[in-house]
Amino acid sequence: MVKARIPAPRRSLLLGASALLGTSALLVACGAPGSPSAAGDAAHRTAAPSASTSASGPTDGGSSVAARPTPGEDARTSASPAPTASGSPTPAAPSSSPYAPPSAARTTAPAQPGAGSTPGASAPATHAPAPATGVLRHTASGGRTVALTFDDGPGPATGRVLDLLAQYGAKATFCEIGDNAKARPATVQRIVAEGHRLCDHTVDHPQPMHAQTHEQQVAEIRDAKADIERAAGGSPTITWWRAPGGDFTAENERIGADFGMKSLGWTVDPRDWARPGVQAIVSDVQRNLRPGGVVLMHDGGGDRSQTVAALEQLLPWMVAQGYVFDFPQS
């Protein structure tokens, strides 16, 4: 049988087509660039190392990929304190002062839900209380006057504070803890007898005040007033109340008003409760006092020797500056 001969030009064309078909098949089997399987291989090669891999990586300050938490790992793990250069966790920031004014966060209205929020989603468990609007922070007479106020007493230092005030003919307002007034009635009576004024500073200085239930806030303000009045004897006038830490809200301001008292704030706080040093207390008051100002200091709640020593310098300085001692506005 005679085989038909294929002309050379046609044979070359057929061989080229076969080669092309073979290459395509090979590319399909191995994964051509841009195909799903090739993309998966590339992703696998560039995937971030696991937590165990990065933990054993270089620590010379070079760049590295942050380890990602293992799927299903408790999210709280990522909130752990970051280690310092020595390897120990960075200490948490110190808590705010027990006497410091409330932070702005407590008087900020909660954020409103965005347009993309889920309808019917539950609101946050807590919300910022409405701030008070009638807190007094000025003297009664104005002009070049100053109102001295002392918190958390009566205490062991109150007698010495009274001695100094008498020496300079100064009058002051004592914001008293109900429990302390019950424990030191003779001191409360001396305060009144020497022409000073009394202020309700709650039964036992709860903080934060706004976190107490309404009934608890009522009891703290009402019962302290009754304790101070009993300790003083007679019928002393208690014109003001002061929230622990200055934590005034519209709610507790209203409670104080219901018991015939106004909310008393301050304009100068030398943080003497923290015992920063006598000169620090003196310098703070001298730097920040303005005519008509209300100065916050402490005669109770701890060691007040620094406050007494600072007062020994501040009283003659105030007199030399032409200040007249006054009570807060009422």
Query: How many angstroms separate the CA atoms of 304 and 25, rounded?
Result: 91
Query: How many angstroms separate the CA atoms of 58 and 48, rounded?
Result: 15
Query: How many angstroms separate the CA atoms of 82 and 89, rounded?
Result: 6
Selecting among 151, 152, 200, 227, the annotated active-site residue is 151
CB-count exposure of residue 76 (10 Å: 0-12, 13-18, 19+): exposed
> Is 151 known to be catalytic?
yes
Give the count of alpha carbons within 13 A of 15, CB side only: 7
Q: Kindly give the residue spans of alpha helices, DSSP state H, lying in the chain.
A: 8-30, 36-45, 51-55, 158-167, 178-183, 185-193, 214-232, 250-258, 278-288, 305-320
> Is 179 known to be catalytic?
no
Give the count of alpha carbons within 13 A of 110, CB side only: 10
Selecting among 201, 205, 210, 298, the annotated active-site residue is 298
The DSSP 8-state label assigned to residue 264 in this structure reads: B
Give the count of alpha carbons within 13 A of 276, CB side only: 14
Question: Which of 234, 179, 181, 243 is CA-nearest to residue 209?
Answer: 243
Structure tokens given for 69:
């938490």
Contacts of 213 (CB under 8 A, 6+ apart): none
What are the residues facing 241 on neighbouring strands?
Answer: 200, 263
Query: How many angstroms separate the CA atoms of 229 and 241, rounded?
Result: 13
Q: Which residues form the catalytic set?
A: 151, 298
